[in-house]
Structure 1
Amino acid sequence: MQVINLQTQNSILNKFIAEIRDVSVQHDKMRFRRNIERIGEIIGYELSKELHYKEEAITTPLGTTNVNLPQQDIVICSILRAGLPLHNGLLNYFDDAENTFISAYRHHITETEFEVKVEYLASPSLEGKTLILADPMLATGSSFVNVLNALKAMGTPKKIHLVSVIGAQPGIDYVNEHFPDSSKLWIATVDDQLNEKGYIVPGLGDAGDLCFGSKLQH
């Protein structure tokens, strides 16, 4: 699996990453969601360079011109609930894509031990299509792997792109072991480690709670 870490080069992306990490800015949920969405737009733009293009003739009011246009059938799959703003950012650029929604959450067995459960899936066929699998937080990597297993019943994609805002290196290594070698991970920034509870350090906290408010654990 190829990993494309967008923060290896300086860009306006740095500002959005700084704001979603900053505890003095995080309290503004609307700004947090919008920054996640904007990061999705930036990643979508970079990812679009990897698609297959075909020249097509376009009629203008004054004549015709040729434009290279993407040809893939794209399906964007977001992991609920934290993935929704990231999904919207990708959909802003791939506005004719099909959409898949799937739930994946941590079911805590003890304070430090948990399993990732998948309980909801709504998806078109993925057979032969380009799958963009989006989750803002790549911590342990279990959510991506469990979702991949759940999606197998929907067909085999031609290509898989994973999109994440922030990840930990151990989680990236875990995902690399379970996804096809041809897969690509597009990520805005990478931290080195996880804490004993499986959270990214220094990270940014719980993206779902920061987007939509705290939740009851069950």
Structure 2
Amino acid sequence: MIVHNLSEKNSIINQFIAELRDVNVQKDSMRFRRNIERIGEILSYEMSKTLNYTNKTITTPLAEMDVKTYVNDLVLCSVLRAGVPLHNGLLNYFDAAENAFISAYRHHKDNPDSFEIVVEYLACPDLNNKTLILADPMLATGQSLVATYKALQPFGVPKNLHIFAVLGAKEGVDYLEKHLPKDAHLWIATVDKELNSKGYIVPGLGDAGDLAFGEKLQH
């Protein structure tokens, strides 16, 4: 897997990451969602440099001219619910893309420190020979994204696979490298060093879904 860690260079994305982490700024849920959306836009712009382009003739009010436009068939798939603001950021740039949505969450049984990934809702177009972008803000253990990728396999074989994440842990990145295709790309805003005993990213930023949309009822 090819990893693109955008925090390794100085850019405005580091400001957005800092605001996502800051407990005082986090109190503004609208700003939290917008920062995730903006990071999605930056990740989209950087990834767009890898797409295939062709010349297209357009007509302006004054003349005809040739411009380069991308020719990839894109499918954007976000993991609900935290992935919604990130998905919006992708759509701001790839507005002609098809869309897929999937729910994947941690289900804790008797031991609160152990869990399994449960995939329930899934809506997806045909994926054959398309460029698939899987978007999930938090890459902790990596199990949710791998479970999502496996759940999408009945819909076809994509030509290219890109993973978008806002914040991850080194362990999660390593897990993806072991379980996803070797030519997959990971586009991520920043990577933290570790997970705690419950599988949460440290220092991390907390629960992205709760911070974006409010606390959820447990079941």
TM-score by length of 1: 0.99
CA–CA distance in 1 between the matches of 2:20 and 2:108?
26
**Aligned-residue offset at 1:58:** 1.1
Alignment of 1:81-160 (within 5 A): 81-109=81-109, 110-160=111-161
Q: Give the corresponding residue for 1:183.
A: 184
Deviations 1:24-69 (A, max 9, x none): 1001000000000000000000000000000111111100111110
The corresponding residue for 1:76 is 76
Q: CA deviation at 1:147?
A: 0.4
Q: CA RMSD in A?
A: 0.5
Rounded Cα–Cα distance in structure 1 between residues aligned with 2:8 and 2:161 = 22
1:69-120 deviations in whole A, cap 9, x for unaligned? Answer: 0000000000000000000000000000000000000101221111110001
Q: Which residue of 1 aligns with 2:58?
A: 58
CA offsets per residue over residues 131-156 of structure 1, 9 Å max, x none? Answer: 00000000000000000110000000
Alpha-carbon distance between aligned partners in 2 of 1:170 and 1:15, rounded to the nearest angstrom: 24
CA distance in 2, matches of 1:147, 1:89: 20
1:212 aligns with 2:216: no
Aligned residues: 218
Give distance in 1, aligned partners of 2:15 and 2:185.
24
1:164 aligned onto 2:165: yes
Q: Distance in 2 between matches of 1:217 and 1:165?
A: 25
CA distance in 2, matches of 1:91, 1:116: 27
- Tell me the alpha carbon deviations over residues 135-178 of structure 1, each in whole angstroms, 9 at most, x when there is no partner: 00000000000001100000000000000000000011001111
Query: In structure 1, how many angstroms separate the alpha carbons of the residues matched to 2:212 and 2:143?
Result: 21
Structure 2 residue ranges without an equivalent (≥5) = none
The amino acid across from 2:64 in the alignment is: T
Q: Distance between the aligned counterparts of 2:59 and 2:174, measured in 1?
A: 48
Task: Note the residue ranges of structure 1 that are not aligned, 5 or more in a row.
Answer: none
3-state SS, counterpart of residue 23 of structure 1 = coil
SS of equivalent to 2:129: coil
